[in-house]
Amino acid sequence: MVDHVKMPLNIMLAGFGGQGILFAGKLIAYAGMIDGHEISWLPSYGPEMRGGTANCSVSISDEAIGSPLVTEPDVFIAMNLPSYERFIDTVRPGGVVIVDETMVGACTLRSDVDYHPIPATEIAENSGLKGLANVLLVGKMLAVTGFSTEATLSVAIEKSVSAKRLDLVELNRKAIALGADIPDSDACRA
């Protein structure tokens, strides 16, 4: 885990509608807010919603944020191949790329990014956490960047999960912890 996170931290999350991209972005934004940072959360999705495209920009900063648009992310989380292909070239050199290897199935050709492929969808399904691959990826981001703490994300989960779905709070906490412990896949290693 990183001792000190460079601010501002600009994050892009992208995938299909229905994969929980906006929820994952909301978790990250809440964690930043709870930690006392300035935050912005900007969701974007195609007209199809579920099954269409969805992406979310999150900025966490110690100073006022001038624009909620993230055009050169420090961290990019990709949950499907079309989103990966659309945004991989926008990641700043030295940035972090975290992909759901189950759904992306591609290895980066960029040598100037810190690349972390994990089979998040497969692990979520095999761990009784079906539908929580997005939260596993947030856990991986926590482990790689140290943008917050597991305790803060636990509180963020309580604030993000709707009152009708409180049964999912503990499952989301398990997904964060599991995601933080998943090693990078060897599939993209030369």
Q: What is residue 189's predicted lDDT score, i.e. its pLDDT? A: 59
Lowest mean pLDDT among 38-52, 69-83, 127-141, 175-189: 38-52
Per-residue pLDDT tens digits for 92-111 = 999 999 999 999 987 888 89
Per-residue pLDDT tens digits for 110-164 = 899 999 999 999 999 999 999 999 999 999 999 999 999 999 999 999 999 988 8
Q: At what angle do helices 150-160 and 169-181 cross, to 10 degrees?
A: 150
Q: Is the pLDDT of residue 26 over 80?
A: yes
Q: What is residue 1's predicted lDDT score, i.e. its pLDDT? A: 38
Cα 120 from Cα 100, distance rounded (Å): 5
Into which CATH architecture does domain 9-181 fall?
A: 3-Layer(aba) Sandwich (3.40)
Residue predicted with more confidence, 137 or 7: 137
Q: What is residue 2's predicted lDDT score, i.e. its pLDDT? A: 41
Q: Is the pLDDT of residue 5 over 90?
A: no
For the chain, domain boundaries: 9-181
Q: Is the pLDDT of residue 10 over 90?
A: yes
Cα torsion angle, 74, 8, 72, 29, sign = positive
Phi-psi region of 109 (alpha: psi -120 to 50; beta: other; left: phi over 0): alpha
- pTM of the predicted structure, to 2 decimals: 0.93
Q: What is residue 115's predicted lDDT score, i.e. its pLDDT? A: 94
Residue predicted with more confidence, 165 or 173: 173
Q: What is residue 82's predicted lDDT score, i.e. its pLDDT? A: 92
Q: Is the pLDDT of residue 46 over 70?
A: no
Beta strands at 53-61 and 38-45: parallel, antiparallel or unpaired = antiparallel
Per-residue three-class SS string for 78-99? ECCHHHHHHHHHHCCCCCEEEE
